[in-house]
Amino acid sequence: MTTTDTVRVRIAPSPTGNCHVGTARTALYNMLFARKYGGKFVLRIDDTDLQRSTKESEEGVLEGLRWLGIKWDEGPDVGGPYAPYRQMERHHTYREVVSQLLASGQAYYCYCTPEELDAERKAAMEEGRPPRYSGKCAHLTAEQRAELDAAGAKRVVRLRAPQETLTFVDLLRGEQHKDMAERGDFVIVKSDGSPVYNFATVVDEHLMEITHVFRAVEHLTNTFDQLSVYKAMGWKPPQFGHLTLMLNPDRTKISKRAGAVYIGEFREMGYLPEALINFLALLGWNPGTDQEIFDMDGLVQAFSVETLSKSDAIFDIKKLDWFNGVYIRSLSVPELALRVKPFMERAGFDVSDEARLEAAVALVTDRLNKLTEAPDMLGFLFTKDVAISAESFAGKAKIGPEQILDALKQADGVLRQVDTWEHGPIEASLRALAEAMGWKIGDLLMQVRIAITGRRVTPPLFESLVLLGKDESLRRIGLAIAALEH
């Protein structure tokens, strides 16, 4: 795709909750498009929902996008030439446009009560007609309006819907059309004076000189109401592209009921922002090659509207886990330790010794798929409170408690003789003991592993012993011996 105008795109989230993965994907595609064509990416807060919009939710949305590495050129936090970037701070612009529409006769005041409108809808549906507004207030005289105003009647502003079929070419879905004669005149300003979304967003897009609107497919039907506003004002609309849905593996729409949907949740679950961005990019876009791993610069270079998918995308959490593992293993040990540290601290472990934490993280880099797994894998290295009991050793029937007790006592004896507490001498002493006992080395190491960790699956044993130190390792073996004896 090429364009002769300066590309200006936007993301316009409603601050009514945390940052949804759908919002993040839409923001990502808009940012990639702007970067691809040297344009501007605008973030605007659509806070016309007065009852649900909060400052906390706004910051939650912005923080989620920032964490992912999505950066905007203009917005409520960074400013820009088209400020303000919150709809509730732009009411003067909406009032000006409404005045123009009322003056030209393209819009009018409607005084119909909710009860009257409900009755109209019910009658239309009973008669098999589309439940659209009848236009009852479309031709009130100035005197009639004055009487209603004097009586304190509540009023909204309605736009006269064009009595024709409106058409636009969706950048993903091709030609779209709708007969607006079936729509009926629709509300653009509520009775409390606040603008309706489909009106406010048009005013903002026009005044902010937005050239392309990429948004969720749920907004496809809204486009025709918006085109009606553009037509009434004589404004050129932007180009529209409506993105596919994100679905669960069972092809239901992704929702909170089926699992995590907010960026903050994925952050808490131990996903890396780089992995989540890469995963989201491929949910609705195909680079046209077998390449799956992209950094942000790579995404900008490869991205194109032509390769955006026309089919709904499956949100496969197992695929996200795979991406996360790939990105974890791409980090240096110091960087991974830095990412792991908050999760270890949250679990109650003292990881202030950076060198020790890095040494521990190095043991599990190849096994870690989410940062939340680190405390479970490494916690025994940062605490003295490892729960060990006789039941911890219950396992293979061929090795009884008496044999395990004897093996640990002998292991304790040979390990006390190790002068240099390093991997090589520790391994040599235990291998020699296993051979002398006639045991498989794996069987002996399993008993020592359980004694020092309380678990059967842990990071490499010899490196773990080195990190624990000789005194602590022997102390734990002693506790295990005592547990088996009693």
Burial class (CB in 10 A: 0-12, 13-18, 19+), 159: buried
Nearest CA-CA partner of 217 in 37, 25, 69, 42: 25
**Dihedral (Cα; 105, 106, 110, 114), 10-degree rounding:** 170
Cα–Cα distance measured from residue 403 to residue 198, given in angstroms and rounded to the nearest whole number: 77
- Kind of pairing, strands 212-216 and 174-179? unpaired
Q: Are 466 and 384 in contact (CB under 8 A)?
A: no
Please tell me the predicted confidence (pLDDT) of residue 299. 97
Mean pLDDT confidence for 258-268: 87
Nearest CA-CA partner of 176 in 220, 217, 212, 218: 220
Cα–Cα distance measured from residue 165 to residue 153, given in angstroms and rounded to the nearest whole number: 34
Please tell me the predicted confidence (pLDDT) of residue 91. 93
pLDDT digits (tens, 9 = 90+) for 95-147: 999 999 999 999 999 999 999 999 999 998 988 888 889 999 999 999 999 99
**How does DSSP classify residue 373?**
G
Give the global pTM.
Answer: 0.91
Inform me whether the pLDDT recorded for 398 exceeds 90.
Answer: no
Please tell me the predicted confidence (pLDDT) of residue 387. 83
Residues labelled as active-site residues: 256
Inform me whether the pLDDT recorded for 407 exceeds 50.
Answer: yes
Positions of E strands within 136-197? 156-159, 165-170, 174-179, 186-189
Q: How far apart are the first and last CA of the chain?
A: 76
User: Alpha-carbon torsion 250, 251, 254, 257, what sign?
Assistant: negative
Q: Which two tokens stand for residue 259?
A: 């699992």
**How does DSSP classify residue 288?**
S
Task: Give me the percent of the chain exceeding a pLDDT of 90.
Answer: 84
Pick 331-382's CATH classification: 1.10.3720.10, 2.60.120.260, 1.20.58.1030, 1.10.8.70: 1.10.8.70
Inform me whether the pLDDT recorded for 88 exceeds 80.
Answer: yes
CATH class of 90-243: alpha beta
Partners of 42 in the β-ladder: 10, 74
Task: Give me the percent of the chain exceeding a pLDDT of 70.
Answer: 97
Cα–Cα distance measured from residue 277 to residue 253, given in angstroms and rounded to the nearest whole number: 20
Q: What is the mean pLDDT of the chain?
A: 93
Cα–Cα distance measured from residue 168 to residue 449, given in angstroms and rounded to the nearest whole number: 67
Question: How would residue 394 be classed by pLDDT, with cut points 50, 70 and 90?
Answer: confident
Pick 390-485's CATH classification: 1.20.1740.10, 1.10.10.350, 1.50.10.10, 1.20.1440.230: 1.10.10.350
CATH class of 8-87+246-314: alpha beta
Please tell me the predicted confidence (pLDDT) of residue 31. 98
CATH 1.10.8.70 residue spans of the chain: 331-382
Q: Which two tokens stand for residue 253?
A: 């729409």
Listed in sequence order, the residues at least 6 apart from 227 whose beta carbon sits closer than 8 Å to its beta carbon are 166, 168, 237
CATH 3.40.50.620 residue spans of the chain: 8-87+246-314, 90-243
Please tell me the predicted confidence (pLDDT) of residue 285. 96
CATH 1.10.10.350 residue spans of the chain: 390-485
Cα–Cα distance measured from residue 287 to residue 361, given in angstroms and rounded to the nearest whole number: 34
Please tell me the predicted confidence (pLDDT) of residue 4. 47
How far is C-alpha 343 from the geometric centre of its chain's CA atoms?
19
Please tell me the predicted confidence (pLDDT) of residue 42. 98
Q: Which two tokens stand for residue 469?
A: 């130190």
